[in-house]
Structure 1
Amino acid sequence: MEQKKKTKFRQIYDALPSKAPIAPKSAFVKEIAKLVKVHEVTVRCWIAGTQKPDALKTSIIAKHLGVPENELFS
Structure 2
Amino acid sequence: MLLAHPVVLWGLVREYEALKVLHGEDGGAVARQRMDDVAYSLCLSTGTQDVDAALIAARFQLPGARIEDDSVLAE
For normalisation by structure 1, the TM-score amounts to: 0.38
For normalisation by structure 2, the TM-score amounts to: 0.38
Task: Look at both structures and tell me which one has the larger radius of gyration over its CA atoms.
Answer: 2
More helix, by proportion: 2
